[in-house]
Every structure is written in C-alpha cells, then in structure tokens.
Amino acid sequence: MANTTNLDPTKTLHEIEEKFEMFQILNEEGKIVNEAAMPDLTDDELVELMSRMVYTRILDQRSISLNRQGRLGFYAPTAGQEASQLASQFALEKADWILPGYRDVPQIVWHGLPLEKAFLFSRGHFVGNQVPEGVNVLAPQIIIGAQYIQTAGVALGLQKRGEKAVAVTYTGDGGSSQGDFYEGINFAGAFKSPAIFIVQNNQFAISTPRELQTAAKTIAQKGIAAGLPSVLVDGMDALAVYAVTKQARERAINGEGPTFIETMCYRYGPHTMAGDDPTRYRTSDIDSEWAKKDPLVRFRKFLEDKGLWTEEKENEVIERAKEEIKVAIKKADATPKQKVTELMDNMYKGDMPFNLKEQYEIYKEKESK
Amino acid sequence: MAQMTMIQAITDALRTELKNDENVLVFGEDVGVNGGVFRATDGLQKEFGVDRVFDTPLAESGIGGLAIGLSLTGFRPVPEIQFFGFVFEVMDSISGQLARMSYRSGGVYNAPVTIRSPFGGGVHTPEMHSDSLESLMTAQPGLTVVVPSTPYDAKGLLISSIRDDNPVIFLEHLKLYRSFREEVPEEEYTIPLGKADVKREGKDLTIIAYGLMVHESLKAAEELEKEGHAVEVIDLRTIQPLDIETIIASVKKTGRAIVVQEAQKQAGIAANVVAEITERAILHLEAPVLRVAAPDTVYPFPQAESVWLPNFKDVMETAKKVLEF
C-alpha cells in the first residue's frame, strides 16, 4: 500500500532520540573530557565527595556482610551507584527534600539520617523511620513510583511556601514503566514545580533487562512526554551527575520548573539480599565491562592526578567508615524492642479511635505481665 | 440559620475552613473555575484565589500524591475524587500511603488530608459512578470514614474532618446532594467524628443505617409505626470507627436490630456492625441481627437500579422478620 501522507513519524522519533547524547565530564581513565562543563567545586569539596563515595562503598560491603550474619534485614546493594546517588545528593542543600526509593538509603544518610536509624530501617523497627527534626527526607519507599507523585506534591508545597528549595526523588529503570512515574513528572511539569526526578538506570529491574521495560531508546526521552527538560548523564561519573543535578536545582529554585535526569549506571551486587542471584540473568562479560566504568576508580585517578588523594587518605576513610558502622550497629542493637502499644501510639496524631483505644488496653495489660 | 441543601452545606463548610486556615487547599478535577461537577466548590476559587482552590491534571493517583506531598510541607489538603468509583486509580496513595504516614514515620509525619468524593445510586449515572466502595476504606487502619446523610451533619462533619490531623475519607451521596433542604447554622460548628446520631427514638427495634439508607429507614420506621412498632433509627455518620456506645445502648434497649446499607451484602460495613453487636450484646437479643443490603452483583446498569437498590420496602420486610422472629 502506498503512503498516503508525507508524514514520517519514524523520522520524528529518531530525531528526538538522536538528541539524547550521554553527558560526561570524566572518562573511564579519570580524564576531563568536557572542560567547559566542569562544576565549580573546591578541592575540599572534591575530596569530601570522594570520601563519601568510598565510605558508601564500604557501607555496602559491610551491610551485605551484616545481612549475611543476620544482623541486618532488608538490604538493596548500592555498589556501583555511588556517583549517581551521592554526587546528586551532594548538589543539594539542607532545605531540600529527598523522597528516596528502597535502594536510596545512602542519599538520606548523607542528608542527615543517623546511620543506626538506617540499620533499624533495614531490620524493620519504627525508630529507624523517625527522621530527626529538620532532616527533610522520607523513609525509603517500597511502592515503586509512589515517591514520584509525592515529590510533585512536596515540590508544589515548597513553591507555595516560596521556599528556595527543591524536592528530589529517585527510581530505577524498571520504575519508569509505572503509571505513577509518568503522573509524577507530568504533574510537576503542569504546575512548574521545583522538582528533580532521577531515574537510576542500573540496567536491570531484578532480572528484567532495561530493553524489556520499553522500546524507547533512552529513559531520558520519557521526560519529553511531560514537557520536562531532560538529560541523559553518565551515572558512573560523579562530576557529570553533580553538574546536571546542580543545574536542575538552580533552574528549579529560579522558578523554571522540574528537570528529568537519567543516570546510566550499574549495580555490581544482586537486586536485594533476599535470595536474588544475578548470575541467573547477567553474564560475567557485562559485569566486567561495567567494572571498568567504576565511579570510584575514575574519580580516584582524577583526584590523584590533581594531588588531592592518596592511598593513605583512602584508608583513613575506610577505617572511619568501619568504626562508625560498628558503633551504629551497636546503637541499633541497644534500641528497645517494639511493643504493640507503641505501634498503636503511632497510628494517629491526637486521640486514638474507639477500636484502637480498646485494643490498647488489652495489649497494655499483656505487656505488663 | 439558612435553608440549605447538602451540597450548599458542603460548600459552606469548605468556605468556612478556607477562611479559617490558610493551609487549607482545595483541588481536584474541575473544582476551580468550574466550581466542581456538582457545584460543591462553586465560587470558592473566585473568593480565595487560584493558589488555594485549583484544578489538576486528570489523574487520581497524581492527585493523591499531590495531597501527600502538600501535607508534608504543612498544608491541609482537601482533594476531590470526582466519583468514588475512580478510587481504584488512587488506592495506593490512600491505603498504601496516606493511611500509613503517621505509623511508618513513627509519628514524625502526619497526614491531615480530607478526601471528598461523591458516590451512591438512584440517579442513573453511567458505569463506576455510584458504587458503594466504603468498605475498601474502612478495612484500612489509619483512615476515618465519614458518610453524612443531612445538610446539617454534612457541614459539621466536614469541618471536623478538615480539622482532623489524620486522613479522613468524606463520602457524599449523590442522591442526597439536592434532595431536600434543612436548617443549617451560618456560623461554624463541628460534629465529632466517630459519633452516631439517633435520628428517631423507639423501643421495639433498632435500625442502623448510613447515607441514603438513613432516609429509607426513617420512611420505613414511619410505616411501621402505623402498624404499632416503635422503631429507633441510628445514623452512623462515621462508619470507621463505629460509635459502639450508641449502637449497643440502643440494642440493649430494644433487643432487636437490623443493619441497612446500600452496598452489596458482601461489601459495606453491615457485617462489622452485626459482629460488634454479637460480641457485646448477644444476651440482650430477642432475635438475630439481620441485614438489608444489595445483591452481590456488580452495581446495576442504570435502568436496573430501581429493582436492585435496597429501599424502605426492603427495610420494612427485614424489620418485620426480626420483629416477628
């Protein structure tokens, strides 16, 4: 059948997809490939960012090991995503809100959640979710996509309050298939709210490869559907992630609305520690290909070339991390066990409803024995 | 005092709270310049501005997320879900998120959100507009569920709901929006949540109802009186938590009870009421507690509403079974 129109929707699609080049500043060898885009970071800040990435890699190793010993519960490994997680958080201010997914514990820890609380979250204790006053984070969200629509709401709230702050949220590549993912970015776009939506594309949603989520060539281009400025960034490059998040934050607080960011990254470990075995769905070839892109390796080289980082310095961070983790686990161990009456106390602000009041008395009696 | 329909009383309550508390925000699909598909928010955007009363994109889930996020930044959101049949789109935001906000944060955050939504049959709406889905809400710990049946109750209960620091689901029966007028004070007043109201006193039988079924029960009570039966009618007003005290006191007095709902028998909250009575007053019962409810089918095609929906005749029939047991 002959073409009856001169439209070429395939060409339109390809033209859009071609626009999404991966933004990178630091290559795998730790060399600057985009001098013009270099973020304005002091030497101290560069060192701090590296320290946090090293610390978080150790936190991941220790968390996996503590989980295997049964001293932690639910845990979603983070190794490989340090640039994506920590360089984006590093671009934020204290007033900013973080709405994390279940893998995004490091961001809320660096935003002010005490480590022992992160461990209590893992174990399943309400004290872990009691974030300290002034730390603008929510507990890790288990329902994939819910954090996106809630972020649109927090951002609208900040906008209405006239605050110079943003709401930042994270999901994974699989999460970009959810309805709430799209509704979240679309609402923030329609209200022109100060939100930053980050998709950490770590290539797999449990065992399902990124290609099975969507025919879209990039996830970044999904932002276009909501009318959001959208970026594809090398998620293994701390400087690039920092630069795009910082720029998104500035746009947001200047009233220019939300930004959508896809960070291309990888998780070295399993999906979670609840029995997932990545060798069933990942080849060692893919693993070693991504190992070459390790965010720590390239940032280390970059800092060493500038004379800002040494093995000694790195070991100091490692020792500090191990020590603080040990202390935090002890604090978590010392947290009193949960009582049913406490769970009831937390259900409502103010008076309990009749049914709960009755049950409260029953459990108070049981607990007094 | 003014004569108001229930919809006018609702608008009046919203206006009262928008005026009282600058954190109150009203939003949803077509609630702004249009004043809502039933005029519940008529004139509010004009009076309070687009920052306080605003339209949203057409996405219930997003509206739920918006409410949660706004409450985290200190606002007191009063979102609207255009018809409660659309709640399935926003079930996670309500039951998975809002209801759990205080608990999951160990009391650090709370969610002072009131979700308004119309429901209910008898007006030949298209599919998924009239379904009684309140039991989806009452089954979720963390939610309070309110169903007013009169203009007076609607205003006082809505003001209380908005002021409550926890999430409240406020369900407005479509057939009651404009079916009658009632004296409603122009000044502000509240009605406590979780408190039922004895709409008619009697000593022979207790009829427990909510929503449109309150009026069907009152009509049935009148008819039964002609036959010599003094019937007490309790309007639950809040269906979660239940006002156990009022229910049990009445049942202990009359010794006989029925529970009347518009929802299907396998849905609604009648079974909860029966269970509570059985647990707390079985020795006072002269007869089993029977239920009036709709058949366990999907909500009827519009033309079948009249044969499907429970009405005062069904209430009378069931009442007589219990009276003559």
pLDDT digits (tens, 9 = 90+) for A253-297: 999 999 999 999 999 999 999 989 999 999 999 999 999 999 999
Give per-residue pLDDT as tens, A111-124.
Answer: 999 999 999 999 99
CA proximity to A297, closest of A106, A65, A37, A83: A83
CA proximity to B133, closest of B84, B185, B194: B84
ipTM given for this complex: 0.97
B144: closest CA of chain A, how far (Å): 9
pLDDT value for A1: 52
CA–CA gap between residue B36 and residue B32 (Å, rounded): 7
pLDDT value for B88: 98
**Binary contact (B194, A354; C-beta < 8 A):** yes
**Binary contact (B75, A157; C-beta < 8 A):** yes
Helix axes A43-68, A295-305, angle to 10 degrees: 150
Q: For residue A26, give the DSSP letter.
A: B
Instruction: Average the pLDDT over B274-303 and give the result.
Output: 98
In chain B, DSSP finds a helix count (H) and a strand count (E) of 12, 14
The catalytic site residues of B sit at 129
Give per-residue pLDDT as tens, B17-64.
Answer: 999 999 999 999 999 999 999 999 999 999 999 999 999 999 999 999
Give per-residue pLDDT as tens, A202-253.
Answer: 999 999 999 999 999 999 999 999 999 999 999 999 999 999 999 999 999 9
Q: Which residues of B touch A152 (CB under 8 A)?
A: 62, 65-66, 69
**Binary contact (B96, A143; C-beta < 8 A):** yes
Report helix, strand or coil for A241.
Answer: helix
Give the pair of three-digit tokens for residue A328.
């935090």
CA–CA gap between residue A255 and residue A156 (Å, rounded): 11
- pLDDT of B174 > 90? The answer is yes
The DSSP H or E segment spanning B197 is strand B197-200
CA–CA gap between residue A190 and residue B65 (Å, rounded): 14
- What confidence tier does A2 reach under pLDDT thresholds 50, 70, 90? low
Residue with tokens 């929510």: A138
Residue with tokens 């626009």: A19
- What confidence tier does B76 reach under pLDDT thresholds 50, 70, 90? very high
Question: What mean pLDDT value characterizes chain A?
Answer: 96
**Binary contact (A146, B105; C-beta < 8 A):** no
Q: Does A113 touch chain B (CB under 8 A)?
A: no
Closest chain B CA to residue A166: B73
CA-to-CA dists, residue B169 to A98, A217, B191, B192, B282, angstroms: 28, 42, 15, 15, 31
**Binary contact (B102, A161; C-beta < 8 A):** no
**Binary contact (B241, A345; C-beta < 8 A):** no
Find out whether B135 and B84 touch, Cβ atoms under 8 Å. Answer: no
Q: Which residues of A touch B108 (CB under 8 A)?
A: 129-131
Residue positions counted in chain B: 325
Q: How close are the terminal C-alpha atoms of chain B, in Å?
A: 45
Per the omega criterion (within 30 degrees of 0), is the bond before B192 cis? no
Instruction: Average the pLDDT over B170-186 and give the result.
Output: 98
Question: Measured between CB atoms, which of B64, B71, B194 is closest to A353?
Answer: B194
A55 an active-site residue? no
CA–CA gap between residue B266 and residue B268 (Å, rounded): 7
- pLDDT of B95 > 60? The answer is yes
Share of chain A above pLDDT 70, in %: 99
A242 an active-site residue? no
Find out whether A237 and A295 touch, Cβ atoms under 8 Å. Answer: yes
Give per-residue pLDDT as tens, A30-50.
Answer: 999 999 999 999 999 999 999
Catalytic residue selected from A52, A57, A62, A267? A267
Among B52, B71, B73, B163, which would you mutate to test the A interface (most chain A Cβ atoms within 10 Å of its Cβ)?
B73
- pLDDT of A4 > 80? The answer is no
Q: Which residues of A touch B248 (CB under 8 A)?
A: none
pLDDT value for A5: 80
Question: Measured between CB atoms, which of A139, A150, A158 is closest to B65?
Answer: A150
Q: Which residue type occupies B305?
A: E
Find out whether B64 and B94 touch, Cβ atoms under 8 Å. Answer: yes
CA–CA gap between residue B278 and residue B288 (Å, rounded): 9
Question: Measured between CB atoms, which of A138, A160, A184 is closest to B62?
Answer: A184
Give the pair of three-digit tokens for residue A39.
């973020």
